[in-house]
Structure 1
C-alpha cells in the first residue's frame, strides 16, 4: 500500500484533464467565453446584455475534478443548495464516494473561486456557458507551491424543471 491519501498518477490525471477539456469544448464550445465572477453571482455580457446566473433549487451536473483532495468524474444531484446524490464515474471517484468525499455544488465552486480571488490567488479563472453557469474553474494559490492547484470542469448541467 502506498503512503498518503492518493497515489501519484500524473499520466492518468493528464489524460483525464485532456479528455474532459475535449468534452467541454465539444459540448458547446462556441457558446462559451471567459468572464469574471462578480459579487452576487457570475455576470457576463453576451450579445449586448448582462445576464446573471443563480443556482437553481434543483439541478444535476457532471464534475471532473483534478485536485489533491478530489480527483475523478462525478455525477452530482443538488437540491436546495445541498448535494443529495453523488455517483462516481471512474474507479478513483467511486472509491472517493465510498469514503464520503465532499463533492461541491456549483454554488460551492463559485464560492471557492470568489475566496481565491479575495486571497489574491495566482490563478482564479472561470469560464461560463451562455446561460451563465460555470463550465470551468481553475485555481492556483501560489505558482511556486506544489499540489495547491485545482481544476473543475462542469458538463451535462441540467436544471430541474420549475413549476
Structure 2
C-alpha cells in the first residue's frame, strides 16, 4: 500500500500518522438472549508514521488486516478506536466534501493486479477513471494528463491503448 508525497507537508508533521488504530467487526453472539457479543478483530492497535517522500509496503498473510488498515487510513471504514492524521489534519473531524478532496492525494495499491485492474479496460480508461471521478480534467486535457501520468512512471503514451 504505497502512500507518499514528494512535497513537504504544510505543518511539518508526518504526511500520515496513525495512532492506536483498531477495527472490530460484529460476529454474532454466544446465546439467543443475553449472550456475549462476539467480534472479529481485523486491526488491533496499529500506530505508524509516513514522512513525505516515503513509501510504506504493508506485508502479511491473507486475512491479516492489510486491506482493512488501508481502508481505515483513507476513512473508507470507521475505526473502532484510534485516529488517522493526514498532513496534520485529523480525518475524523472532516466532512464528506473535505474527505473527498483529500482522497485525491491518497491511494491504495493492492498487490494482486487482478483485484486492482480490470483486465478488459485499456490503460487510458483505467488511468482516466480517477481523473473523471475527481473532475480534474475532460477531453483533450484529460488525455494530456494521462500521458503525463504515464511518463511519471516510465511508460510511453503508446501504452494508453494497451490492456493491463
- TM superposition score category, shorter chain reference: under 0.3
Between structures 1 and 2, the one with greater helix share: 2
Between structures 1 and 2, the one with greater strand share: 1
Higher alpha-carbon Rg: 2
Normalised to the residue count of structure 1, the TM-score between the two structures is 0.23
Normalised to the residue count of structure 2, the TM-score between the two structures is 0.23
